[in-house]
Chains A and B, each alone.
Chain A
Amino acid sequence: MASEQGKLRYALVVLGAPYSQAATHSALRFGEALITQGHRLDTVFFYHDGVYNTSRLAAPPQDEPHLVDAWVRLANEQGTELLVCVAAALRRGLLDEREAQRYGKPAFSVEPPFVLAGIGQLVEAGITHDRMVTFAP
């Protein structure tokens, strides 16, 4: 249930890769708009190619929007939880420090506020949030 009258808790699911499809831009703009209207963006779940949104090594040209930083800003300013599907991430070379050690990799590519998570947490988000909106490629 909503914590305040008319104010809703949102979860977003991002399935599209940044700089390839519109999904990331749409999700970010939607997230900003719902916050402006007084709702809460509590969780973003990155799945499929959406996990590319979470690479700490992303280095886009300076005159283009830095989409990874935009998610980090959301987490810092709104307390939004940024969950990354671990199965989708590992096979695409997106590993946090612990997984990099486990698999003997020379570097890690995911760091907080992005957190590797299981698919169960996506299901839980669907149950515990008032609204879930998916942005797909």
Chain B
Amino acid sequence: MLLHLLNRSPAGSRLPEDVLRAMGPDDRLLLIESGVYGAVSPQADCFKTLKGRCYALQDDLSARGLAERHADWIIPVDMAGFVALTAETQRTVSWY
């Protein structure tokens, strides 16, 4: 099981499509930095298939004024939650 880190918004990059193609059925996705723009609808729609295993970094949501605006299938996590996700998964893959 891998944790994928994505720091690009779906609005300005095709990278999220590549991540989705590469992800295994149990892999998790964490949106960080400008990747959290993908946590807000309608951009978030592309991650709907990941319900229950798609996360967004709370600090980065807050820094962009998106703290309460993420889609309901996106799970917000703080930095401690980020660390926990890396500990629970075998490896971390960064997409940029």
Which of A53-61, A83-91, A101-109, A128-136 contacts the other chain? A128-136
Partner of A22, one of B33, B83, B92: B33
Complexed CA–CA distance, A22 and B80 (Å): 18
Decide if the interface of chain A is mainly helix, strand, loop or mixed: mixed
User: B7 to A131, Cβ gap below 8 A?
Assistant: no
Q: A22-B33, A29-B59, A39-B87 are in contact. Are A131 and B92 (CB under 8 A)?
A: yes
B84 cross-chain contacts in A, Cβ below 8 A: 37
Distance in Å from the Cβ of B35 to the closest Cβ of chain A? 10
User: A133 to B7, Cβ gap below 8 A?
Assistant: no
Binding site for A on B (CB under 8 A): 5, 7, 32-34, 59-60, 79-80, 82-84, 86-87, 91-92, 94, 96
